[in-house]
Chain A
């Protein structure tokens, strides 16, 4: 497709630029500005060079949060991507059940994130929650408020509950675009179920899987509201992820300089990892 060159198209893009400049560029400049300055209060700032960046990179607390964040995203991707594919393969293809299943599956995606947190906060409570109560009755010592393992498990199950449907819906769309002839050909060639998945379904889902992996990585890496509501980052710092730590620093303690430096590093880490995912997965696709 050869599109004509037309620099006047910039006029069409202008409104987007103005809006995004207002909601992204100016705030980002503020962040950059803070990140290189220090203050003794009274709105007097002075140049601090890369001092804050150095502090952030050397901070054990932030390193620990980054470690937790990476572990969390890795676990989320490892669970939700295969599970989402598996669910998509089992979804009804057409008819009333297909639309009903679609609607029910999309439901968690449209619940405000703090309500998601509230649902699981309540659900997991030993005194009034079905999950906590049932586990207690089964003799399992479960308490997400005191036990770091239980807190992690709760947040991971919550995220799986919240987002697996997105992966499944994307994969489902990819599957729907496969013409029947492919399945028919596979039957004629006596391909096994695994063969159908490996050589027909998986290749056709590659595009949507790339989107799913990127979205799930980005959003799990930025997670804030849900764990904040359920555990508040605790017990101790066990579920203090990067965003929770950042908000604590920026709004709780008003440490503007370090928070700004932290923000920029955070953003860059996401960009970097997303870029790596994108490059690796598209390279894989071009190779195969």
Chain B
């Protein structure tokens, strides 16, 4: 096991990339600690699979290095990187039994058979397949097969990392939750470095210690689920994380006041004047109906169980409120109040810090 470092890593599928858009993965540097649970989150085509393939050795990056610990593995083939991977669709060896499937990676590495047997039994217990060990893999259900893939990933104790490429795509919703919980438990118990690629924010936020959000080939933010939610570094993160996403409004910011469509809104701290497109962003749960403040037009209310979502418009832009179930909603209101402490300011989509903290 090892810490994973990306050093000025970038990749383009074109031989001579020129324009910004030619890069499938734009230059990035990151360090992931040994034993962490990481998620790569983004919509399809954002570069997360490219990054995963670079880690697994399927792709050779156009520039930069990948390090496992202190060792540069950029030029090493997959087999020598000592990683495990669970794919989007279950990959099992159909003609083998479950036991043979689990033993396969160990057998290929020439482990003594008593050690193999012990490991296989341990892994089978972990994934809850002790009873089906001698069944053929062919004919098992998709989630059983995916558990086998998972088990094959876990069976080697010395792997540098286990990569998950949207592993729950073909799993029933109910089983999804169960498998994710199991994964989390396995991570806590064995401490493998786990890298989980997904486009589903719930999966990413519940699984990972740290989430790397990607968009258009760029790492836009890497941080804990809480920090992504509280302080998105980019409007994309604000919009992508949370349901519904962050409300964004065009504004003019002067000191500690933002002017939105002629209404002054107090901010938690003063900001320096900036050029470019300035927006303020606020999470829907930090907004409340009010009698004075920002003019708001309610379009419809949705009850989603433990809270309600009020969907509407502010100055022509969509704007949502999230109200807890036990809180009353005024029969009619046309203004909203924003919690100053939770307003973020974005310039050209990137979050900027207020004055005293920046200094």
Contact flag (A, B; Cβ within 8 A):
yes
Number of interface residues of B (CB under 8 A): 24
The segment from A153-161, A183-191, A250-258, A274-282 that touches chain B is: A183-191
Contact of A184 among B56, B95, B109 (CB under 8 A): B56
Q: Which residues of A contact B58 (CB under 8 A)?
A: 184
Q: Which of A20-28, A119-127, A195-203 lines the interface with chain B?
A: A195-203
Assess whether A191 is in contact with B108, with CB atoms less than 8 Å apart. Answer: yes
Q: Is A15 interfacial (CB-CB < 8 Å)?
A: no
Let me know if A188 and B83 touch, CB within 8 A.
Answer: yes
Of B84-92, B125-133, B173-181, B208-216, the stretch lying at the interface with chain A is B84-92
Are A195 and B78 neighbours in the complex by a CB distance under 8 Å? no
Whether A288 sits at the interface, judged by CB under 8 Å, is yes
Bound Cα distance A189, B84 (Å): 8
Which of B85, B89, B96, B136 has a CB less than 8 Å from the CB of A188?
B85
- Chain B contacts with A in 78-108, Cβ cutoff 8 A: 78-79, 83-85, 87-89, 91, 93-96, 104-105, 108
A115 to B95, CA, bound (A): 43
Who on chain B is nearest to A182 by CB? Answer: B91
**Contact yes or no, B89 A179, CB < 8 A:** yes
B96 partner residues in chain A, CB cutoff 8 A: 199
Say yes or no: B109 contacts A190, CB within 8 Å. yes
Of B77, B89, B94, B105, the residue contacting A189 (CB under 8 A) is B105
Query: A192 an interface residue at 8 Å Cβ cutoff?
Result: yes
Which residue of chain A lies nearest to B159 when distances are taken between CB atoms in the complex?
A188
Docked CA distance A288–B97 (Å): 9
| Given A195-B108, A199-B93, A200-B93, A190 contacting B79 (CB threshold 8 A) | yes
Q: Are B89 and A187 in contact (CB-based, < 8 A)?
A: no
Question: Are B85 and A203 in contact, CB atoms less than 8 angstroms apart?
Answer: no
Collect the chain A residues with CB atoms within 8 Å of residue B91's CB. 179, 181-182, 185
Q: How far is the CB of A286 from chain B (nearest CB, A)?
A: 9
Q: When chains A and B are docked, how far (Å) is the Cα of A189 from the Cα of B118? A: 18
Chain B residues near A185: list those with CB within 8 A. 85, 87, 91, 149, 152
Residues of A within 8 A of B83 (CB): 188
Shortest C-beta distance, B307 to chain A (Å), equals 39
Q: Are B108 and A288 in contact (CB under 8 A)?
A: no
Q: What A residues does B93 contact at CB under 8 A? A: 199-200, 203
Number of interface residues of A (CB under 8 A): 16
Measured between beta carbons, the chain A residues less than 8 angstroms from B84 are: 188
A182 to B149, CA, bound (A): 11
Contacts A199-B96, A288-B95, A288-B136 given: A189-B87 contact, CB under 8 Å? no
In Å, the complex CA distance between A188 and B84 comes to 6
Residues of the B chain whose Cβ atoms lie less than 8 Å from the Cβ of A187 = 77-79
Asked if B88 and A189 make an inter-chain contact with CB atoms under 8 angstroms apart, the answer reads no
Which chain B residues lie closer than 8 Å to A199 at the CB level? 93, 95-96, 104
Smallest CB-CB separation from A181: which chain B residue?
B87
Determine whether the beta carbon of B108 is less than 8 Å from that of A189.
yes
A203's partner among B77, B88, B95, B109 (CB-CB below 8 A) is B95
Report how far A188 CA is from B162 CA in the complex, Å: 11
Q: In the complex, what residues of B have CB within 8 A of residue A192's CB?
A: 108
Please determine whether B108 and A203 come into contact, CB atoms closer than 8 angstroms. Answer: no
What is the minimal beta-carbon distance from A240 to any residue of chain B, in angstroms? Answer: 42
In the assembled complex, the Cα of A288 lies from the Cα of B136 at a distance in Å of 7
What separation, in Å, do the CA atoms of A58 and B221 have in the docked complex? 86
From B153, which residue of chain A is reached at the shortest CB distance? A188
Q: Which of A184, A190, A195, A288 contacts B85 (CB 8 A)?
A: A184
Q: Which residues of B contact A195 (CB under 8 A)?
A: 104, 108
Chain B residue with Cβ nearest A185: B91
Q: Hey, which chain A residues are within 8 Å of B108, CB to CB?
A: 189-192, 195
Among residues of A, the one whose C-beta sits closest to the C-beta of B104 is A189
Name, among A184, A185, A189, A192, the residue most crowded by chain B CB atoms within 10 Å (CB to CB): A189
Inter-chain CA distance A125–B152, complex, in Å, is: 59
Nearest B residue to A179 via CB reads B89
Distance (whole angstroms) from the CB of A283 to the closest CB of chain B: 14
Tell me the minimal C-beta distance from A101 to chain B in angstroms. 25
Q: For A288, list chain B residues within 8 Å (CB).
A: 94-95, 136, 138
Complex CA gap A192/B84 in Å reads 17
Docked pose: A288 CA to B93 CA in angstroms: 11
| Cα separation A203 to B95 with both chains bound (whole Å) | 7
**Chain A residues within an 8 Å CB radius of B77:** 187
A157-212 residues with Cβ-Cβ distance < 8 A to B are 179, 181-182, 184-185, 187-192, 195, 199-200, 203
User: What are 24 of the A-B contact pairs (CB < 8 Å)?
Assistant: A179-B89, A179-B91, A181-B87, A181-B88, A181-B91, A184-B56, A184-B58, A184-B85, A185-B87, A185-B91, A187-B78, A188-B56, A188-B83, A188-B84, A189-B108, A189-B152, A190-B79, A190-B108, A190-B109, A191-B104, A195-B104, A195-B108, A288-B94, A288-B95
